[in-house]
């Protein structure tokens, strides 16, 4: 069933937004241009936003931003749709009790809330209900029964991250889940094991490198991830223009591959073998030269010895890459004046995610490319997340406790979200019965999303902090809608640690938020205040309340200012402080990445244990897979993911300008595989995998390698009660209704969302 919507309801404005001609507009006195960053993805593009009152008239790339130089993608413009979206909630919703007459309230954001069993309520009532529910479950079932899930957009708000941390502390819960375990957990873990800090990332020195090797990343579309660099295509082209080389290894000839010098198909899930074959070549051909950091690295011998077990001709078949090509990849990398090996989701979201990412890091280190210009370098952000995380010592660590289901290790207190549905659904001591979701949509984003959907429906208490009634928050008892990015002042706190240039960025709000609305951090702080009257030891209460007060009294800026002043550019550096960052309207460029070892090492002995026992230990699993493993499933196809420039995980499909055009939720299949199954372009097919089946149209193209199919995630917006109406008109299907929650990287607990064994068959009589 779809929400029964009266036809006359105004849908979001067709775009471009109606507006007067530019010259006229400039003259209008009540208009102003606000310069701020786009915080929808990691690229942090500078925007020039023309606003009148609370209306966004135009969004353009800011040509004066030193970093993005006017670049923006279609999503940047769609920030305007988010601000204006009539489906966005402006007031909390409370689930109407059975028998209670639900009213739809006056909230234009929830036109049919009443019909779906919601009541629009004031903040006090909603927050009290949330606190009552959580406190009740906690009292009855103990701290293990309450969990938090932090979704992707939460990464942009320092205040929200801090408050989520304090909320967990107050609950006394060790049940923190996040999108990290669907994404970059292998990278955090490798950073922790090798560099002593999960937030110290080696980032390709993109603007100076002579050779960029990309495994399982599509930055031309994703705009770069753990590699913050706006206008990726320009930056990639620049590598080639200065005589360098870009090589892409990917089961799909991606948009990035099309701007590269070389593209190599690889069978999904097998990069671990490819990298071992490359390391073998380095060792066998005496190309290992750790360079300037040699004094800091332990275990080189041990690692090289291990690699000798994997000559290229031993791994060629499983990877689908000819042995000579593997060896040549290694020679080219080692022979370049400088080189950077980069990998993202195609590496992380596999069963060997951590080990693969480790070997990729080793490739950089063994060729002397760590911490040198053009290689893999460490950003030094003005506000140093790594230093802050390091001070929160209780936050940093590995395998100090394990998940009840699956027996998987925590990574810096995060547990694998692939196990969350089972944790909720499996009775017994420690069963999760209450959940707070903050900026996340697990019903669409975790593997076996249907199980998650059912788990969410069965929770005793679900509190969702989200601006929409999503596939997840539709199950909530209370929905607490925050202001969206353009309505917030934001200091970039996370992506400075991943940026290809050192930068600092303060973004003032573009529009004034409606009265009686709150930001994520404030909502969490209010929730903490209420919970503290109901639960928690005296110490816990005192600590959480003190933190909540910082947010509620508007003192976060002072805290940030202090962190900046004591940071690398602060009192003992350039004299940087929050005021000076704020004054840099177009963003502050702090220059190219600088060599920073050993200063950037947080390991106790300030060394890099390249052959860390946790990582070396996993090589037995690798060997076993090579000798006995069959990565193919019975259906003969391996499923991978695919992103589109106009998508943003599960949640921007309510922007009319982003969903227009042809259906993007298709299965991409090679002509040979399509032919073998009688599938013609556009035909609807049944895609079946470990957790279920979906129906999607087929797109036939040789840009995908034989034996592989690709489907984007984040679709499937036709579920009952979901509040985004534009998205519901372009629903697609959720690929996570097919993926496998049991397939994880056992080291990091990261979900193996790539290389899922599936079958595809034509649906009879369903052409078109």
Ligand X SMILES: Nc1nc2c(c(=O)[nH]1)N[C@H]1C(S)=C(S)[C@@H](COP(=O)(O)OP(=O)(O)OC[C@H]3O[C@@H](n4cnc5c(=O)[nH]c(N)nc54)[C@H](O)[C@@H]3O)O[C@H]1N2
Q: Which residues bind ligand SF4 (CB under 6 A)?
A: 38, 40-41, 43-45, 72-73, 75-76, 223, 230
Pick the closer one to ligand X by CB: 212 or 293. Answer: 212
Tell me which residue of 206, 240, 606 sits closest to 373, measured CA to CA: 206
In whole angstroms, what is the distance from residue 768 CA to residue 765 CA?
9
User: Residues 577, 648, 666, 750: which binds ligand X (CB under 6 A)?
Assistant: 648
- Give me the helix-helix angle, 271-284 and 619-628, nearest 10°: 110
Spatial contact of 716 and 695, defined as CB atoms under 8 Å apart: no
Binding of residue 509 to ligand X (CB under 6 A)? no
Pick the closer one to ligand X by CB: 105 or 714. Answer: 714
Which residue's structure tokens are 């002995």?
605
Write down the least CB distance from residue 624 to Mo ion, Å. Answer: 30
Pick the closer one to ligand SF4 by CB: 46 or 269. Answer: 46
- Which one-letter DSSP state was computed for residue 221? H
Binding of residue 183 to Mo ion (CB under 5 A)? yes
Q: Select the binding partner of residue 755 from Mo ion, ligand X, ligand SF4, none (C-beta < 5 to 8 A, by kind).
A: ligand X
Pick the closer one to ligand X by CB: 372 or 642. Answer: 642
Pairing of strands 637-640, 756-762: antiparallel
- 96 Cβ neighbours under 8 A, 6+ residues apart: 102, 114, 117, 118, 119
In whole angstroms, what is the distance from residue 626 CA to residue 316 CA?
11
Pick the closer one to ligand X by CB: 221 or 385. Answer: 221
Q: Select the binding partner of residue 442 from Mo ion, ligand SF4, ligand X, none (C-beta < 5 to 8 A, by kind).
A: ligand X
Q: 32: which strand partners?
A: 51
In whole angstroms, what is the distance from residue 685 CA to residue 79 CA?
34
User: Which residue minimizes CB distance to ligand X?
Assistant: 346
In whole angstroms, what is the distance from residue 665 CA to residue 713 CA?
8
Pick the closer one to ligand SF4 by CB: 41 or 315. Answer: 41
**CB-neighbour burial class of residue 469 (10 A; exposed 0-12, middle 13-18, buried 19+):** buried
Residue count, binding to ligand X (CB under 6 A): 62
Write down the least CB distance from residue 16 to ligand SF4, Å. Answer: 16
User: Which residue minimizes CB distance to Mo ion?
Assistant: 183
Q: Select the binding partner of residue 250 from ligand X, ligand SF4, Mo ion, none (C-beta < 5 to 8 A, by kind).
A: ligand X
What SS3 state is found at 536? Answer: coil
Spatial contact of 336 and 205, defined as CB atoms under 8 Å apart: no
Pick the closer one to Mo ion by CB: 151 or 496. Answer: 151
Write down the least CB distance from residue 191 to Mo ion, Å. Answer: 16
Q: Both ends of the chain: CA-CA distance in Å?
A: 23
Phi and psi torsions of 430, nearest 5°? 90, 5
Write down the least CB distance from residue 227 to ligand X, Å. Answer: 9
Tell me which residue of 715, 732, 612 sits closest to 190, measured CA to CA: 612
Per-residue binding letters, 151-190, with ligand X (x by CB under 6 A): xxx-------------------------x--xx-------
Q: Select the binding partner of residue 643 from ligand X, Mo ion, ligand SF4, none (C-beta < 5 to 8 A, by kind).
A: ligand X
Cβ count within 10 A of residue 457: 12
CA distances from 766 to 662, 676, 697 (A): 18, 18, 9
Pick the closer one to ligand X by CB: 211 or 600. Answer: 211
Binding of residue 754 to ligand X (CB under 6 A)? yes
User: Residues 640, 658, 669, 696: which binds ligand X (CB under 6 A)?
Assistant: 640
Q: Select the binding partner of residue 38 from Mo ion, ligand SF4, ligand X, none (C-beta < 5 to 8 A, by kind).
A: ligand SF4
Q: Select the binding partner of residue 346 from ligand SF4, ligand X, Mo ion, none (C-beta < 5 to 8 A, by kind).
A: ligand X
Q: Select the binding partner of residue 43 from ligand X, ligand SF4, Mo ion, none (C-beta < 5 to 8 A, by kind).
A: ligand SF4
Binding of residue 456 to ligand X (CB under 6 A)? no
- Buried b / exposed e over 599-614, threshold 16 CB at 10 Å, is ebbbbeeebbbbbbeb
Binding of residue 466 to ligand X (CB under 6 A)? yes
Q: Can you point out the beta strands (E) in 565-613?
A: 588-592, 608-609
Q: 667: which strand partners?
A: 698
- Buried b / exposed e over 205-229, threshold 16 CB at 10 Å, is bbbbbbbbbbbbbbbbbbbbbbbbb
Q: Select the binding partner of residue 445 from ligand SF4, Mo ion, ligand X, none (C-beta < 5 to 8 A, by kind).
A: ligand X
Q: Select the binding partner of residue 484 from ligand SF4, Mo ion, ligand X, none (C-beta < 5 to 8 A, by kind).
A: ligand X
Tell me which residue of 43, 49, 76, 58 sits closest to 492, measured CA to CA: 43
Spatial contact of 463 and 476, defined as CB atoms under 8 Å apart: yes
Q: Select the binding partner of residue 753 from ligand SF4, ligand X, Mo ion, none (C-beta < 5 to 8 A, by kind).
A: ligand X
Binding of residue 643 to ligand X (CB under 6 A)? yes
Binding of residue 714 to ligand X (CB under 6 A)? yes
Q: Select the binding partner of residue 72 from Mo ion, ligand X, ligand SF4, none (C-beta < 5 to 8 A, by kind).
A: ligand SF4
Pick the closer one to Mo ion by CB: 217 or 299. Answer: 217
- Which one-letter DSSP state was computed for residue 395? G
Binding of residue 355 to ligand X (CB under 6 A)? no
User: Residues 191, 223, 338, 750: which binds ligand X (CB under 6 A)?
Assistant: 223
Q: Select the binding partner of residue 200 from ligand X, ligand SF4, Mo ion, none (C-beta < 5 to 8 A, by kind).
A: none
Alpha helices in 228-378 (DSSP H): 232-241, 255-258, 271-284, 300-307, 312-319, 323-335, 345-348, 353-366
Q: Which of these segments, 209-217, 402-410, 673-681, 689-697, binds ligand X (CB under 6 A)?
A: 209-217
Binding of residue 217 to ligand X (CB under 6 A)? yes
- Which one-letter DSSP state was computed for residue 303? H
**Which residues in this chain contact Mo ion in the complex, by CB under 5 A?**
183
**Which residues in this chain contact ligand X in the complex, by CB under 6 A?**
41, 151-153, 179, 182-183, 215-219, 221-223, 225, 249-252, 254, 266, 268-269, 271, 344-346, 350, 438-442, 445, 465-468, 470, 482, 484-485, 520, 640-641, 643-645, 647-651, 713-714, 735-736, 739, 753-755
């Amino acid at each position: 069933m779809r929400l029964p919507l009266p036809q006359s309801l105004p849908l979001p404005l067709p775009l471009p937004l109606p507006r007067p001609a530019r010259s006229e507009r400039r003259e209008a006195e009540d208009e102003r241009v606000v310069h701020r960053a786009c915080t929808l993805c990691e690229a942090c593009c500078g925007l020039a936003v023309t606003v009148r009152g609370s209306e966004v008239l135009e969004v353009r790339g800011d040509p004066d931003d030193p970093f993005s130089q006017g670049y923006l993608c279609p999503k940047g413009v769609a920030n305007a749709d988010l601000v204006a979206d009539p489906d966005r909630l402006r007031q909390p919703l409370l689930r109407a009790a059975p028998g209670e007459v639900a009213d739809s309230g006056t909230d234009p954001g929830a036109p049919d809330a009443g019909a779906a069993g919601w009541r629009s309520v004031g903040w006090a009532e909603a927050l009290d209900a949330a606190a009552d529910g959580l406190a009740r479950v906690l009292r009855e079932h103990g701290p293990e029964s309450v969990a938090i899930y932090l979704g992707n957009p939460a990464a942009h708000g320092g205040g929200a991250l801090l408050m989520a941390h304090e909320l967990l502390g107050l609950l006394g819960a060790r049940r923190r889940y996040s999108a990290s375990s669907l994404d970059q957990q292998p990278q955090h873990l490798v950073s922790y094991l090798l560099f002593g800090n999960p937030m110290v990332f080696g980032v390709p020195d993109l603007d100076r490198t002579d050779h960029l090797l990309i495994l399982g990343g599509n930055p031309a579309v994703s705009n770069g991830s753990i590699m913050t660099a706006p206008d990726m295509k320009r930056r990639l082209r620049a590598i080639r223009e200065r005589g360098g080389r870009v090589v892409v290894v990917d089961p799909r000839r991606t948009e990035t591959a099309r701007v590269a010098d070389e593209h190599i198909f690889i069978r999904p899930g097998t990069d671990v073998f490819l990298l071992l074959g490359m390391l073998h070549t380095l060792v066998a051909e005496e190309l290992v030269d750790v360079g300037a950091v040699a004094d800091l690295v332990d275990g080189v011998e041990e690692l090289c010895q291990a690699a000798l077990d994997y000559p290229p001709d031993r791994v060629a078949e499983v990877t689908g890459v000819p042995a000579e090509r593997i060896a040549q990849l290694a020679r080219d990398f080692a022979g370049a004046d400088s080189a950077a090996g980069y990998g993202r989701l195609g590496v992380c979201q596999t069963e060997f995610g951590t080990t693969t990412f480790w070997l990729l890091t080793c490739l950089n280190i063994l060729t002397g490319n760590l911490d040198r210009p053009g290689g893999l370098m460490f950003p030094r952000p003005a506000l140093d997340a790594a230093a802050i995380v390091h001070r929160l010592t209780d936050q940093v660590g590995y395998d100090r406790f394990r998940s009840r289901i699956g027996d998987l290790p925590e990574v810096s207190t995060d547990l694998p979200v692939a196990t969350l549905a089972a944790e909720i659904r499996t009775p017994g001591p420690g069963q999760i019965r209450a959940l707070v979701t903050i900026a996340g949509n697990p019903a669409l984003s975790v593997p076996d999303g249907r199980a998650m959907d059912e788990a969410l429906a069965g929770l005793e208490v679900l509190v969702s902090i989200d601006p929409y009634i999503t596939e997840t928050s539709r199950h909530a008892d209370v929905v607490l809608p925050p202001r969206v990015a353009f309505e917030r002042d934001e200091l970039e706190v996370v992506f400075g640690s991943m940026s290809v240039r050192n930068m600092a960025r303060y973004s003032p709000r573009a529009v004034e938020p409606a009265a009686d609305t709150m930001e994520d951090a404030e909502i969490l702080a209010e929730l903490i205040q209420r919970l503290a009257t109901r639960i928690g030891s005296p110490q816990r209460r005192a600590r959480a309340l003190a933190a909540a007060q910082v947010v509620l009294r508007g003192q976060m800026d002072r805290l940030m200012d202090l962190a900046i002043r004591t940071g690398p550019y602060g009192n003992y550096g350039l004299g940087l402080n929050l005021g000076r960052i704020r004054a840099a309207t177009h963003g502050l460029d702090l220059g190219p990445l600088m060599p920073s070892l050993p200063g950037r090492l947080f390991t106790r002995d300030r060394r890099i244990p390249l052959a860390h026992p946790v990582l070396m230990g996993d090589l037995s699993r690798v060997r076993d897979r090579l000798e006995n493993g069959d990565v193919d499933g019975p259906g003969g196809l391996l499923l991978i993911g695919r992103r589109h420039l106009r998508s943003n995980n599960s949640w921007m499909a309510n922007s009319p300008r982003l969903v227009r055009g042809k259906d993007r939720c298709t299965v991409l299949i090679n002509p040979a595989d399509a032919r073998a199954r009688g599938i013609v372009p556009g035909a609807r097919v049944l895609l079946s995998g470990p957790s279920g089946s979906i129906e999607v149209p087929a797109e036939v193209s040789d840009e995908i390698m034989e034996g592989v199919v690709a489907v984007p995630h984040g679709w499937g917006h036709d579920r009952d009660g979901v509040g985004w109406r534009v998205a519901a008109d372009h629903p697609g299907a959720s690929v996570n209704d097919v993926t496998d929650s049991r397939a994880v990287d056992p080291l990091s607990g990261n979900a193996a969302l790539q290389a899922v064994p599936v079958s595809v068959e034509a649906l009879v009589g369903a052409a078109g």
